[in-house]
Amino acid sequence: MRVNSDNKSSSSIMESKPLHPLHQIAGTPTHKLLLKQWLKEEELILNRISLKETQLDSTRKEITQLYSLFFVFHSTALLLLFSAASYGNGPHFCRKSWIPSLVSLFCSLGFIWAIRYKTDVEFHLEKMLEREKEDSSLLSKCVEELKRKGVEFDLLKEVDALRRAKSLRVESKPVRKWSARDFVTLFFFTVSCLVLGLTRVILCS
């Protein structure tokens, strides 16, 4: 009789002990399906983050190459013009100085356009990467909350909160009149104007 009473008491203790939240989720189809969907979405977001980071690194390398090419091109052009003017007919070169000036101007505008385009791409990728990381952070919090609460996790309330957090994620930021990209464009435009002036000085001095 005592053995039977012990068995009954132990079984009642086992029954009264609550299941682990993950076991609760495994036994509830809706919570289980939601957890699977969120884990899959979390993996997709991480893959997108990795892809965006690779694209951002590649774009930054291209921008650095454009910077280098800009200065190498103009340095080489000025050296060649100086060398030609040193051994050539000064007045003749001065009269024809508009030709290299025009070439320099068009090349400079091409470089400035390419640099501006790439910096815009960089800015766009940075914003997309920031958004993906915010999505990943929000989703990770929801997954942890679901794993912690189990069946006590309110599906409608929490999913709606996640949706609202995504929609209200865009913060109101002060509008900047000038950005770093604008200063970069202005810098290269100024350098291009200086190169035009140096071209005229070299050929007409």
Alpha-carbon distance of 84 to 56, in angstroms, equals 42
| Predicted confidence (pLDDT) at residue 34 exceeds the cutoff of 70 | yes
Please compute the mean of the pLDDT values over residues 46-71 and round it to a whole number: 96
- What domain range is 83 assigned to? 20-170+180-204
Between CA 175 and CA 169 the distance in angstroms is 17
At 143-180, the pLDDT tens digits run: 887 777 766 666 666 666 667 666 665 554 555 677 88
Q: Is residue 3 part of a domain?
A: no
Please indicate, yes or no, if residue 130 is contained in any of the structural domains.
Answer: yes
Q: Considering only residues 18 and 119, tell me which one the structure prediction assigns the higher pLDDT.
A: 119
For residue 1, is it within any domain? Answer: no
**For residue 46, is it within any domain?**
yes
Helices and strands, counts by H and E, the chain: 7, 0
Number of domains in the chain: 1
169 vs 76, residue with greater confidence? 76
Q: Which residues of 86-120 are buried (b: 16+ CB within 10 A; e: fewer)?
A: eeeeeeebeeebeebbeebbebbeebbeebbebbe
In this prediction, residues 45-66 reach a mean pLDDT of 96
